[in-house]
């Protein structure tokens, strides 16, 4: 029995490694000649480009990456760029590239942005306590106290690009549901002011990126 379990675990580990390596090839080389690969924007490490509002996906749960690529491919999450790219991927390729980016270690040091201690402190308060008078629940309740997330439902957001966070929160506040999960976020952020959105984005960016995001 022990031998069978050992063999099964070993086979599973090898299969996972193969998925990650296949995903690396997709991320760095793409799947169609003449078309950009994931790394062209999100970088090979998955660190993204904070200044350009290109989100970090390295270390994010594979289940969330897979879900979002599927939404892009089906048109459930409209995007002029991501939809055409995701449509090139087969379900297996989506699994592989999601496994690859989920396995990437967080960046050691993220690019610096201009902010203030007061803004970060305000964001910290909103993130952990919310604003009950405006019916804004604490972000930590779903995304975790350290921004580590929980699988496909609640993605890891620690260290995420501030401009990307502002873009997404502002869109939900304006009534853009983005994808099938968006209606939940629309109800959560409708009471936030623009200043509070900026403060949350600044604080989230300071959270250490966790290599153990839930899968």
Q: Mark the binding-site residues for heme c, compressed into ranges.
A: 38, 41-42, 82, 139, 142-143, 186
The dihedral sign for the CA sequence 28, 164, 208, 15? negative
Binding site listing: 38, 41-42, 82, 139, 142-143, 186
Rounded CA gap, 190 and 207, in Å? 24
**Is residue 188 within 8 Å of 112, Cβ to Cβ?**
no
E strands, the chain, where? none
**Closest alpha carbon to 211 in 127, 146, 162:** 146
Rounded CA gap, 184 and 206, in Å? 25
């Amino acid at each position: 029995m022990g031998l069978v379990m050992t063999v099964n675990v070993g086979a599973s580990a090898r299969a996972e490694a193969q998925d990650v390596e296949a995903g690396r090839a997709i991320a760095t080389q793409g799947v169609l000649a003449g078309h950009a690969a994931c790394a062209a924007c999100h970088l090979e490490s998955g660190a993204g480009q904070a200044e350009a509002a290109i989100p970090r996906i390295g270390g994010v749960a594979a289940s969330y990456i897979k879900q979002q690529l599927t939404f892009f491919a089906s048109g459930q999450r409209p995007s002029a760029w991501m939809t055409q790219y995701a449509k090139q991927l087969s379900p297996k390729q989506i699994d592989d590239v999601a496994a690859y980016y989920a396995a990437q270690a967080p960046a050691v040091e993220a690019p610096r942005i201009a902010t203030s201690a007061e803004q970060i402190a305000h964001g910290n308060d909103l993130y952990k306590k919310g604003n009950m008078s405006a019916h804004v629940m604490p972000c930590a309740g779903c995304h975790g106290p350290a921004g580590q997330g929980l699988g496909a439902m609640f993605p890891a957001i620690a260290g995420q690009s501030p401009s990307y966070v502002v873009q997404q929160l502002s869109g939900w506040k304006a009534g853009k549901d983005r994808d099938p999960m968006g209606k939940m976020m629309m109800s959560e952020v409708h009471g936030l002011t623009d200043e509070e959105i900026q403060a949350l984005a600044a604080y989230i960016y300071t959270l250490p990126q966790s290599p153990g995001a839930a899968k």
